[in-house]
Chain A
Amino acid sequence: MRYLAILCMISLLACNQREGGIIIAGSTSIQLFIEKVAEYYMEKHPEIQINVQGGGSTAGVQATYNKICDIGISSRNLKEHEKRLTTILIAVDGIAVIIHKNNRVNNLSTEDIRSIFSGKIENWQDLGGRDEKIIPVTREEGSGTRGSFEDMIMGEAEISDACLVQDSNGAVREIIATTPQGIGYISVGLVDEREKAVAINGVLPTLENIASRKYRFSRPFLFLLLTEPQGNVRKFIDYVLSKEGQDILKKDGLIPATEIYND
């Protein structure tokens, strides 16, 4: 009997709570950045609870469809069958191909990268590096980062079964930072001094190069919505797109949506 009472009380509390909360789910790439923006937002509006989940871009699309989140986040463009959702661009992020700090290689062509990840090239020696077997690391299939990587660099070639698989950018970065023979791809915004981003076709992934499209490998960070945003959700989206919100994203290495040079 007592248990029932406790459960009822909790449910009552819960009913009130559900109104003021925003649930955001999807891309692990975007999750980190949005958590930070949400932190700032909640400082100013303590009555709003923002919960950010990961799971990957495809999971975000699913979650939005299934209505278990208010805003989905995706780090790749939507596929044909997903186009029912509304998208709002909040930032642009480059994809950097990273290798260990001590790796002699500094520049790779798109063809090189494709060959590495499809298993055609297996030794760093063939690219000007040491005589060591390459250890490529990729993201899981549902990852937006992987989706964008496959679209922009792999093209028709398939990522080999022999690649290590990790389920977030951070995990990939950790492996590359500590594995001399490793190569992987992560958000430009996440690259730190423990690993090195290669120039692709001679172009380094600096923020200017990405914004000016000289570095062509960038993908959109999107908010996904099933319906027209209302109330608290609308207010949060406005905040993210405001100068303050965009500045936070910029500080973290993203290109704010408001600063994209349109082609």
Chain B
Amino acid sequence: MTFRIGPRTNQIIAYSILLLMTLITVIVLFFIIGYVFKNGIGQLSLEFLTDKTREMGKEGGIFPSILGTFFVTIFAVVIATPLGVGSAVYLVEYTRGGLIHRIISFGADCLAGVPSIIYGLFGFIFFVITLNLGWSIISGGLTLAVMIIPTIIRTTEEAIKAVPHSFREISYSLGGGKLDTILKVVLPTSLPGILTGVILGIGRAVGETAAVIFTAGSSLGIPTSAFSSTRTLAVHFYILAREGISMPKAYATATVLIIIILLVNFIAYRLMHRFMERYY
């Protein structure tokens, strides 16, 4: 007589395993963040956040990197957002479903998945050397912009597509033209979704290292112009950790970096929620 486990028992076993694995995943996450925070929180202080970097990172603070990260990210977003949103609007509203639309969407999907080091490769050869922009906020910002445009195109596309047709039809029936409809009905409605995409792009840009280290450089001074080289937080952390310059400072930098990204993701998540709640 063969011994068989009944479906009820099967379920209990399955449930336990699934629960266990989920718990392990969550624990791993908390462990990683907790480990970094535990070792880094001690170093955090107002001084650390506002002080210049000294002794190659062994002393001083991370103010130059905070500024640098800020400038590079803002630069990237300022360029990528209008280009990305504008393209998505054109694709959805003016070439809806056509072959061109599908090809471009596919292209954007592919480019969103291309490894960041390839953007670094491109940025280094094209922006830093060929265009002679040197290692600078501009080179870094442009490279990051190109990197996040595909993501913004895709998320904006999804957000705009989700606006019910009825909204547009009502607008047309009330006498609104295409542009008016887009500006006053479609865009405001899809705004949370669009912003979510932009903010997620910001999150990606802030944590980016490979594309930035080859284009914005790794200079430690406070950036004074768009042509200054700068060391973003992620790059600074990478250098501190790898070179073993100062483990406490490395952990502290990582802590600041993670906190910024958590904040950015949190905001994106809340926005996404509002967007979903409106229509689903």
Contacts and interface: CB of A to CB of B under 8 A. Distances in A.
Contacts of A49: 221, 224, 228
A51 B219 contact: yes
Nearest to B56: A35
B229 to A, nearest CB: 4
A162 interface: no
A49 B244 CA distance: 26
Interface in B190-239: 217-221, 224-229
A36 B56 contact: yes
B229 A23 contact: yes
A68 B134 contact: yes
B277 to A, nearest CB: 32
Q: Which of B82, B219, B242 has the most CB of A within 10 A?
A: B219
Chain B interface bracket (under 10, 10 to 19, 20 to 34, 35 or more): 20 to 34
A17 B128 contact: no
Of the candidates A10, A39, A51, the one having the most CB atoms from chain B within 10 angstroms of its own CB is: A51
Interface in A1-43: 3, 6, 10-11, 13-14, 16-18, 21, 23, 25, 32, 35-36, 39, 42
Contacts of B273: none
B135 interface: yes
Contacts of B56: 32, 35-36
B268 to A, nearest CB: 23
B224 A17 contact: yes
B276 interface: no
A170 B78 contact: no
B242 A168 contact: yes
A23 B220 contact: no
A17 to B, nearest CB: 4
A253 interface: no
Interface stretch (A127-135, A171-179, A200-208): A171-179
B129 A174 contact: no
Contacts of B227: 14, 17-18, 21
A52 interface: yes
A35 B219 CA distance: 9
Contact of A13 (B219, B221, B225): B225
11 contacts: A11-B226, A14-B227, A25-B135, A39-B54, A49-B224, A51-B228, A52-B219, A68-B132, A69-B134, A168-B243, A171-B243
Interface of A: 3, 6, 10-11, 13-14, 16-18, 21, 23, 25, 32, 35-36, 39, 42, 49-54, 66-69, 168-171, 173-174, 177
The 7 closest A-B pairs by CB, nearest first: A170-B243, A51-B219, A17-B225, A14-B227, A10-B226, A14-B225, A51-B229
Given A13-B224, A52-B219, 9 more contacts: A3-B78, A16-B225, A17-B224, A17-B227, A36-B56, A49-B224, A51-B219, A168-B242, A168-B243
Interface of B: 54-56, 78-79, 82, 128-129, 132, 134-135, 138, 217-221, 224-229, 242-245
